[in-house]
Amino acid sequence: MSKQAMNKPAMNKPAMNKPDNPQGTTHKQAFDEPLWWGLFSAGGVCFAVFLPAVILFVGVLLPLGLLPAEALSYQRASAWLFSVPGVLFAGAVVCLPLFHAAHRLRHGLFDIRVGSDTVNKKVMYGAAALLSVLALGVVLAGMLS
Amino acid sequence: MDKSSSQRFDPLTRTWWLKHRFFKLYMVREATVLPLVFFILCLLAGFVSLLQGADSWQGWVAFMGSPIVLALNLLALAASLFHAATFFVLFPRVMPLRIAGHRLPDNMIVAGQWAGVLAVALLFFWLLGRA
């Protein structure tokens, strides 16, 4: 399967991007797409392999009080997060899945024809990048304090 | 794909995907990222609360236990498993594995990935199952 075929048909086609491309004559080569698809795949693996366990333990069992009392106490949780494994945790559980989500949302908006892809792309990947920087920044700040 | 290919298609309506079960499932899979984003934002808030101190962390745990948040995170758990189920079957199609010239059966590759999910869950159980 070629790279073009992997992409959705007409994603970059002039006819589908009228607001951004009134003449509809040029066809820009998208050099950045392999990066977004790569982050999408990596995030997809993390979403499938890591997120079920993280959501189960942190999002369900912890608030329900089904973990041992001190399992995720403030001391324990902060010692774990503000460490080198914590950086990897943030990368695998926050940053990469965010880019996966951004990619799916961008393509989903295109599928239901909401907004223009040129703008959606910047908003989605921009938001994923900002939140990733925030996550890694918090972990690094915790390591330094 | 040639430049004129778009002219062969009629413009899509917003609801084209409602017309066929396959496309509906596709859109459900696309939508699995919505509860995922919700959980990630919750988790990010948890990161910030850890930075702020013990009281803030306790407040965050209480927030995670409020009924709507808990319900949305249960939805995120279901969504992550649905995403995994659809994602794992793609692997053998995109990258068939061969061992000593023999193609590894698809269902073994899929089972191997589920074993990975289980291994991560067991790691969490080992880390958090005892205080």
Three-state DSSP state, A135: helix
The residue of chain B nearest to residue A76, with distances taken between CA atoms, is B131
Cross-chain Cβ contact B36/A62 below 8 Å: no
Partners of A37 in the beta sheet? none
> With 90 as the cut, is the pLDDT of residue A31 above it?
no
In CATH, what class is B14-88?
mainly alpha
Cross-chain Cβ contact B39/A59 below 8 Å: yes
Cross-chain Cβ contact B6/A53 below 8 Å: no
Helices (H), chain A: 3-6, 33-49, 51-54, 74-81, 84-90, 96-111, 117-144
Q: Which has more confidence, A13 or A93?
A: A93
**Is the CB of residue B45 less than 8 Å away from at least one CB of chain A?**
no
Rounded to 5 degrees, φ, ψ at B35 are: -65, -30
Give the residue from B14, B17, B34, B47 with the most A CB atoms within 10 Å of its CB, the best one to mutate: B47
Which residues of chain B are under the pLDDT cut of 50? 1-4
Is residue A112 exposed (0-12), middle (13-18) or buried (19+ Cβ within 10 Å)? middle
Q: Give A20's pLDDT tier (boundaries 50, 70, 90).
A: low
pLDDT in tens, A48-74: 999 999 999 999 999 999 999 889 999
Cross-chain Cβ contact A71/B39 below 8 Å: no
Cross-chain Cβ contact A138/B51 below 8 Å: yes
Q: How far apart are CA A48 and CA B79, in angstroms?
A: 9
Between helix A117-144 and helix A74-81 the angle, nearest 10°, is 110
Q: Which CATH number fits domain A39-144: 1.10.3720.10, 1.20.1250.20, 1.20.1300.10, 3.40.50.1100?
A: 1.20.1300.10
pLDDT confidence of residue A3: 45
Of all residues in chain A, the percent with pLDDT exceeding 90 is 72
Q: Where are the domains of chain A?
A: 39-144
Give the residue from A104, A114, A132 with the most B CB atoms within 10 Å of its CB, the best one to mutate: A104
pLDDT confidence of residue A2: 45
Q: Give A29's pLDDT tier (boundaries 50, 70, 90).
A: confident
pLDDT in tens, A84-139: 999 999 999 999 999 999 999 999 999 888 889 999 999 999 999 999 999 999 99
pLDDT confidence of residue A134: 98
Q: Give A26's pLDDT tier (boundaries 50, 70, 90).
A: low
Nearest neighbour of A59 by CB, restricted to B37, B50, B77: B77
**Is the CB of residue B38 less than 8 Å away from at least one CB of chain A?**
no
pLDDT in tens, B79-110: 999 999 999 999 888 888 888 888 889 999 99
pLDDT confidence of residue A17: 47
Q: Which has more confidence, A77 or A23?
A: A77
The residue of chain A nearest to residue B63, with distances taken between CA atoms, is A63
Tell me the residue type at B122: L
Residues in A touching B45 (Cβ below 8 Å): none
